Amino acid sequence: MVTPYNLDQAIRKVPDFPKPGILFYDITGILQTPPAFKYCIDAMVEQYKNVKIDAVAAVEARGFLFSAPFADRLKVPQILVRKAGKLPGETNEKRFSLEYGEDVIQIHTKDVQAGANVLLIDDLIATGGTLKAAAELIGEIGGKVEDIFCVIGLPFLNYAEMLSDYRITTLINYEAE
């Protein structure tokens, strides 16, 4: 059983970062508060304990912080979703549009097993663009993503529309301020 924890107290809200008018939700406070971090991992385990998960994939870099202990608890492999040029060896990549331009993500080709059910994890979901690209890339390599987990959700940015093909779970949501 997961004990409720008020994550809002641990999440730092940083105004005007990375640019004026943006309120940044910083998970560093969760990492600085062991009971908050434990709550997040315990809640993830509880949420997915009866779901068949063959691997977890995490988006660079803050997604790794939550996916690694979760993958360890479930005894499943972890797949790293990284920015272009960060992974050695053979990779598959996906180019996608961002609000302010374009980006490229990569995954080691051999890390995704054919037919594997992959849980996609990140710290925060805003518009959903990066997560959609990651889910599509996993699918192109041969895996399948049905579920996406993020600690923080910003539903006012309409990620549910972008990710309508996936079940999305968040621990805390924020509305526009």
pLDDT one-digit tens code per residue, 128-149: 999 999 999 999 999 999 999 9
Q: Which tokens hold the place of 13?
A: 């809200």
13 is a domain residue: no
Specify the long-range contacts of residues 95-102, CB closer than 8 Å, at least 24 apart.
96/129, 96/130, 96/132, 96/133, 97/129, 98/129, 98/130, 99/127, 99/129
102 is a domain residue: yes
163 is a domain residue: yes
Report, as an integer, the average pLDDT of 51-79.
97
- To which residue do tokens 């609000």 refer? 99
Could you tell me the CATH number of the domain that includes residue 115? 3.40.50.2020
Tell me what pLDDT residue 57 has: 98
pLDDT at 177 over 80: no
Q: Which of 12, 60, 62, 90 is catalytic?
A: 62
27 is a domain residue: no
106 is a domain residue: yes
Say whether 99 is catalytic. Answer: yes
pLDDT at 100 over 80: no
pLDDT at 2 over 80: no
Share of the chain above pLDDT 70, in %: 98
90 is a domain residue: yes
115 is a domain residue: yes
Tens digits of residue pLDDT in 24-52 = 999 999 999 999 999 999 999 999 999 99
Question: Cα separations (Å) of 177 from 11, 25, 156, 173, 174?
Answer: 15, 12, 10, 12, 8
Local structure of 42: helix, strand or coil? helix
Tell me what pLDDT residue 1 has: 64
Share of the chain above pLDDT 90, in %: 90
DSSP states of 69-88? HHHHHHT--EEEEEETT-S-
- To which residue do tokens 């940015």 refer? 157
Tell me what pLDDT residue 98 has: 75
- Which range marks the domain in which residue 112 is found? 52-173
pTM: 0.95
118 is a domain residue: yes
Which stretches within the chain are classed as H helix? Answer: 28-31, 34-48, 62-74, 129-141, 159-162
Domain count, the chain: 1
Q: Which of 60, 82, 95, 99 is catalytic?
A: 99
